[in-house]
A and B are shown apart, each in its own frame.
Chain A
């Protein structure tokens, strides 16, 4: 896995003893960031030349190149729009989120 998985059923603290030692596992995530977004980046696969400029510049690491074609991790993308602005090929557009 190239990025951590969210723990879907995080149970919270077992008791006060947990509070005494605030140590958790590396890469432990208990929620997504998707709710932050008002705009979502949409990739036009026909225009994308896989230059990966956007990939280097995404602060959240939510552009994914693992499969050899560019994808967005919509669970953690915050919709900042850097990828769309920096793409020299106009391959990403920011579209309003519904509701």
Chain B
């Protein structure tokens, strides 16, 4: 990062390249796309598979992206990115960027194979997964990234079992295990960290991946004005982390001395309404196990 200008609210362009979209008020996913587009800029092609951002951004005859973009089949994001980057090169274009915005379902479940292939080929693509922890556009179904206890329409709450069971798939480490040139996690609650990671992905000559936590007030059962605060709380209570993977090394960007209570974060959301004390304990144990590993093996800030 040393030879790059650090981006901030003041020096970032005034230009809006994701604007007038129909996302719900307070949508974290749309904030992730808006900020990324400001960094990546006009010389870009955008690919969005079936998800909320394509539903709200490509409402024919309106088009909220200020650059060329297309909606692709659900599973194909990274393959389409590869195709576009090759096509642009064959046409002799230089100085262009190809970026995809896929959801957690579109990344960790249905799009995983295409992503794996593109990273393995090391095509020059920027892949951004905005994680709202469920299939939101179809009305909130459980995905491989829904954390323990999440209430969705396919992981309902009842007397015996409430909410999603498995722990979140570890997408960041799955991508890193491909030996990718640049990968990072981020959060819309820490926007300056996020935009500078997008800038690093943009500067990277091969495949890059960013996994950004992007709360969904509609699917999470939260007010529209707490989106960014929830995103920040998730990091501060240790259920999400800010990190990078580069040159074969993991680096933690923020190492909280003390975690805020997970209970405060969880009880603020309708999707965790049924959680009890024993559930908070399970979540805390999962968190502590994850952080023990991180602190043992990664470079820490």
Tell me the A residues contacting B by CB distance below 8 Å: 2-4, 6, 10, 13, 22, 24-33, 36, 51-53, 55-61, 64-66, 76, 78-82, 84-86, 94
Contact status of A4 and B66, CB under 8 A, knowing A56-B9, A56-B191 = yes
Are B26 and A86 touching (Cβ within 8 A)?
no
Are B14 and A65 touching (Cβ within 8 A)?
yes
Q: How many residues on the B side are at the interface (Cβ–Cβ under 8 A)?
A: 43
Are B15 and A26 touching (Cβ within 8 A)?
no
Are B61 and A10 touching (Cβ within 8 A)?
yes
Are B61 and A60 touching (Cβ within 8 A)?
no
Contact status of A55 and B9, CB under 8 A, knowing A33-B22, A66-B14, A82-B228 = yes
Q: Total number of A-B contacts with CB less than 8 angstroms?
A: 110
17 residue pairs of the A-B complex, CB under 8 angstroms, read: A4-B19, A25-B63, A26-B66, A31-B62, A32-B20, A52-B9, A56-B9, A56-B195, A59-B30, A59-B34, A59-B227, A60-B34, A78-B26, A81-B223, A82-B224, A82-B225, A86-B229
> Shortest distance in angstroms between A37's beta carbon and chain B's nearest beta carbon?
8
Q: A22 vs B61: C-alpha distance in the bound complex, in angstroms?
A: 8
Are B19 and A76 touching (Cβ within 8 A)?
yes
Give the contacts of B10-37 with A (CB-CB under 8 A).
Answer: 10, 12-23, 25-28, 30-31, 34-35
| B255 on the A face (CB < 8 A) | no
Return the chain B residue nearest A65 by Cβ. Answer: B14
Are A57 and B31 touching (Cβ within 8 A)?
yes
Are A61 and B226 touching (Cβ within 8 A)?
no
Q: Which residues of A contact B62 (CB under 8 A)?
A: 24, 28-31
| B68 on the A face (CB < 8 A) | yes
Tell me the B residues contacting A by CB distance below 8 Å: 9-10, 12-23, 25-28, 30-31, 34-35, 60-69, 188, 191-192, 195, 223-229
Interface SS majority for chain A = loop
> Shortest distance in angstroms between A45's beta carbon and chain B's nearest beta carbon?
18
Q: Which residues of B contact A26 (CB under 8 A)?
A: 63, 65-69
Are B224 and A81 touching (Cβ within 8 A)?
yes
Q: Which residues of A contact B27 (CB under 8 A)?
A: 59
Q: Which residues of A contact B28 (CB under 8 A)?
A: 59
Q: A31 vs B59: C-alpha distance in the bound complex, in angstroms?
A: 11
Are B20 and A29 touching (Cβ within 8 A)?
yes
Are A57 and B26 touching (Cβ within 8 A)?
no
Pick from A30, A36, A58, A84: contact of B61, CB below 8 A.
A30
Return the chain B residue nearest A37 by Cβ. Answer: B25
Are A57 and B16 touching (Cβ within 8 A)?
no
Are A61 and B19 touching (Cβ within 8 A)?
yes
Q: A60-B30, A78-B26, A79-B25 are in contact. List 18 more A-B contacts (CB 8 A).
A: A3-B16, A4-B19, A24-B61, A24-B62, A27-B17, A27-B63, A27-B65, A29-B19, A29-B62, A30-B61, A31-B62, A56-B191, A57-B191, A61-B16, A61-B19, A81-B26, A82-B225, A85-B226
Q: Which residues of A contact B34 (CB under 8 A)?
A: 59-61
Q: Which residues of B contact A55 (CB under 8 A)?
A: 9
Q: Which residues of B contact A65 (CB under 8 A)?
A: 14
> Shortest distance in angstroms between B24's beta carbon and chain A's nearest beta carbon?
8
Return the chain A residue nearest B12 by Cβ. Answer: A56
Q: A88 vs B34: C-alpha distance in the bound complex, in angstroms?
A: 22
> Shortest distance in angstroms between A1's beta carbon and chain B's nearest beta carbon?
8
